[in-house]
Chains A and B, each alone.
Chain A
Amino acid sequence: MANYNIDADKALTYDAIVVGSGISGGWAAKELTEKGLKTLVLERGRIVEHVKDYPTMSLDPWDMDLRGGLTAEEQDKHYKSVRSGFVGKDIEHFHANDRENPYTEVKPFLWIRAHQMGGRSLLWGKQTYRWSDIDFEANAKDGHGVDWPIRYRDIESWYTYVEKFAGISGAKLGLKQLPDSHFLPPMEMNVVEKDIRKRIEKDFPGRNMIIGRVAHLTEPLNGRGKCQYRNRCSRGCPYGAYFSSNAVTLPAAAATGNLTIRPFSIVQEVIYDDQKGKATGVRIIDAETNEVIDYKARVIFLNASTLSSTQIMLNSKSGRFENGLGNDSGELGHNLMDHTYRVGAAGTVEGYEDRYYKGRRPNGIYIPRYWNIDEASQSDKFVRGFGFQGGAGRGGSRVAANLPEYGAEFKEKLLQPGPWEFFITGFSESLPQHSNHVKLNPDVTDKWGQPTLSIDAEWGPNELALNKQAKEDAVEMLERAGLQDIVPFDNEHEMGYGIHEMGTARMGRDPKTSVLNGNNQVWGAPNVYVTDGACMTSSSCVNPSLTYMALSARAAEHAVSELNKQNI
């Protein structure tokens, strides 16, 4: 287990500061420390050591006072994040306190935050997909947003690099819209999923149904154990089988001897030197003592999470940048994106009543995007596309509650697996729209007296058109696959429910229209790199975390190279 140095020396100037220790911050810390930089990671929450600080990782329902339910006080503490539907006693301690950390929803927007070492890398869904040139070229081709300053060839080797260390399981398919990763063996589909796959792929040429590509080990790697199919991932994995900063990148960073991680450090702003034309450090508030401290460094990585990194930049005002660090373009805080969520269809499957499965697989099936990937698949109703996640399993107590029965026979049925059910739910790409934005709200302050964010964003007509198509397609595929009792759904979730917030400090080719350049450097502050979701120029329809990992590793190498050349 890593032995973390948590005593940051106030007098010391570090080579590098990394703000945040989630998926991208963990990677930045690993890469920078391994390249020899004395690195200070500033984490606004507490230390969470792998295994040691996973108090619920092996609890059964009956081990918890309310079998996983939250008390009234806990519900109030998480009054926003409980809207997601999955915050229970097993993982509530990894969710931020919504009362101490308010935000304002000008339009409804769910912002899930995880204020502790590891951040949301402890909680994420672990679906892991490469982006393709269809994604990187999308803005340039259809004119929404600005062009990405990079293409697939610029990031391909970095995908491979992070995949080899993170451990990604999946099967190769050779699709141009979903490039293959460097894979560990794939997880297995169950018998019903295999049947549905055959039917869908036969009836819908060009559509594929694959097992999800996930950041779970299906073979041991670097001392981490393989997945034991407990499906208790978000509580922290005792085997280190899924990728988290806590299990993977931060221990590697600590092993170099170059890492200091300072908990309870809320970064207020990046300190910018107008004369030097670069940043000199960051100012923090100690969350426990309220002490204000400045830390200095030669290079700074912002990895606080999409909206938090942007919040820090908006709050970093100087003579040179009166409207926030790097905000010559006026785009800082704008072009907020997410993926749509819970739109698809569910149904039941007959014919496999005597078949069952063993293991709680933390993964499902994936149907890659098939709209607008070539001439033949062009839609006249929308640009971009969507993919589906889903899976089959046998119903439990919810199905039993629907059985019009009670008494002794009912009780015996309750103890048996219910009917096979299958669902697919779409994740649609959202367009970068200037009007979808966040700004500082000085009227609502947090526990530490700091201005908070106002979030003003909503789906546009293209996202709604994509969702309409996703719902229709889902029903059609389930019908052709022979399912019964098909229920179409669109829960019409507002933005934020996808928990894939992206943009607000986008990369671009032109400082007049973007905040970051093609190396994730802030225009006008070249020693500040932003490599979390804030940097995203478009949103693709696939899960973004793998791309944050690759961009972080790529930017770290650039930063060290530039430091060595004394360019920054």
Chain B
Amino acid sequence: MLNRRDVLRNISWLAGGAIITPALLHGCNNEPALGWKPAFFSDDEARFVTAYIDTLLPTTDTPGGLDVGVDRFIDKVMAATNADTDELLPMQTGIRDFDEDARTRFGKVFHELEADQRGQLFSDAEKSPRYQPAVWGTAVGEQPPIGFYRSFKSMVLWGYLSSEQIGTEVLVYDPVPGEYDGDMPLSATGGRSWSL
């Protein structure tokens, strides 16, 4: 289904093809290739998302966020869960603000920064309010507003932990436990969480 956002994007892409300016060319040449076509994000937003996920969950001896496609998953979720609108969603505004902060402090947008610069931005953002406990699907208590950084972090963690590779190969997968044992040593799972 082609929604209004796709149409708009296609039109602007056509316009860009028809009137190629040096500035546009210059911009395009400097951008890293995404390697995938977002359905929801602009290419700039997608570059931010990619850089954010890679900073939060890098590849180590276990898969990183990008290895299990969290970037594409979030793009898919955003495209499917939001009614088509021309207005920017809070996530998009958050990305812009975060990039603006990066530019103010380091002269470049987030995905262009060095690792330690990204780290400084993350460490500062970590001072923002945290989630209250949740009871049956809803946060309880006095919940201060959760900013973009942490809500996006939460979404990335969801995309990572709910992926098939993490769920079946990294965490301990037991779809049919068959019994309840209310007291077992954590070492029984090798220190890892159950995936479900």
Contact = CB atoms under 8 A, between A and B. Distances in A.
Given A189-B182, A406-B122, A487 B132 contact: yes
Nearest to A193: B182
A396 interface: yes
A489 B180 contact: no
Interface stretch (A348-356, A441-449, A451-459): A348-356
Interface residues of A, number: 65
A60 B167 contact: yes
A397 B186 contact: no
B186 A353 contact: yes
A404 B126 contact: yes
Contacts of B82: 72
Nearest to A231: B196
B70 to A, nearest CB: 11
A175 interface: no
Nearest to B171: A415
A325 B154 CA distance: 53
Given A66-B80, A187-B180, A342-B140, A402 B131 contact: yes
Interface in B107-129: 119, 122-123, 126-127
Contacts of A344: 135, 140
A410 to B, nearest CB: 7
Interface in A369-418: 394, 396-398, 400-402, 404-408, 410-412, 414-417
Interface stretch (A300-308, A357-365, A560-568): A357-365
A407 B58 contact: yes
A3 to B, nearest CB: 28
A75 B81 contact: yes
A406 to B, nearest CB: 5
B185 A398 contact: no
A539 B167 CA distance: 43
A70 B178 CA distance: 29
Contacts of B157: 397, 400-401, 414
B182 A70 contact: no
Nearest to A341: B136
A163 interface: no
A60 B196 contact: yes
Interface string A218-235: 000000000011100000
Given A187-B180, A228-B178, A410-B56, A85 B138 contact: yes
Nearest to A191: B183
Contact of B192 (A72, A361, A416): A416
Interface string B57-87: 1101010100000000100110011111000
A228 B192 contact: no
A425 B135 contact: yes
Contacts of B182: 188-191, 193-194, 357, 361
A342 B135 contact: yes
B141 interface: yes
A142 interface: no
Contact of B161 (A193, A397, A421, A491): A397
A318 interface: no
A291 interface: no
Interface of B: 55-58, 60, 62, 64, 73, 76-77, 80-84, 119, 122-123, 126-127, 130-138, 140-141, 150, 153-154, 157-164, 166-167, 170-171, 174-189, 191-194, 196
Closest 9 CB pairs of A and B: A190-B182, A489-B140, A85-B137, A359-B180, A191-B183, A62-B164, A359-B177, A404-B126, A61-B162
21 contacts: A60-B167, A66-B80, A230-B177, A342-B140, A355-B183, A358-B177, A360-B177, A397-B161, A401-B157, A404-B126, A406-B122, A407-B119, A410-B56, A415-B170, A415-B171, A415-B192, A416-B191, A423-B140, A425-B135, A487-B133, A487-B141
Given A228-B177, A358-B180, 17 more contacts: A60-B175, A61-B162, A62-B163, A65-B76, A85-B136, A85-B138, A344-B140, A355-B183, A355-B185, A397-B158, A398-B134, A401-B154, A406-B122, A407-B58, A407-B119, A415-B193, A423-B133
